[in-house]
Amino acid sequence: MDLSRQGLFAYARSSEGTKLFRYTMVSVISVVISELVLFGALHLMDAVWANVVAVMVGTIPSYELNRRWAWGKTGKGHLWREVAPFWVLSFIGLLVSTGAVAVAATYVGHNPATLGGKLVINATTLGAFGVLWVGKFVVFNKVLFAHRPAELDPVFDGRSGFPT
Q: What is the pLDDT along the chain (164 residues), one digit of tens a residue?
A: 677 888 878 878 888 788 888 888 998 999 899 989 998 998 898 889 999 999 999 999 998 998 888 878 888 877 787 888 888 888 888 898 899 888 888 888 766 667 888 888 888 888 888 878 777 777 777 776 766 555 544 444 444 444 44
Q: Which of 95, 92, 86 is nearest to 64 (CA)?
A: 86
Among 131, 57, 61, 120, which Cα is nearest to 93's?
131
Angle, vertex CA 48, rays to CA 47 and CA 51, nearest 5: 85
Res 20: pLDDT: 81
pLDDT at 1: 66
Q: Is 156 in contact with 164 (CB distance < 8 Å)?
A: yes
d(CA 137, CA 146): 11
pTM over 0.75: no
pLDDT at residue number 156:
45
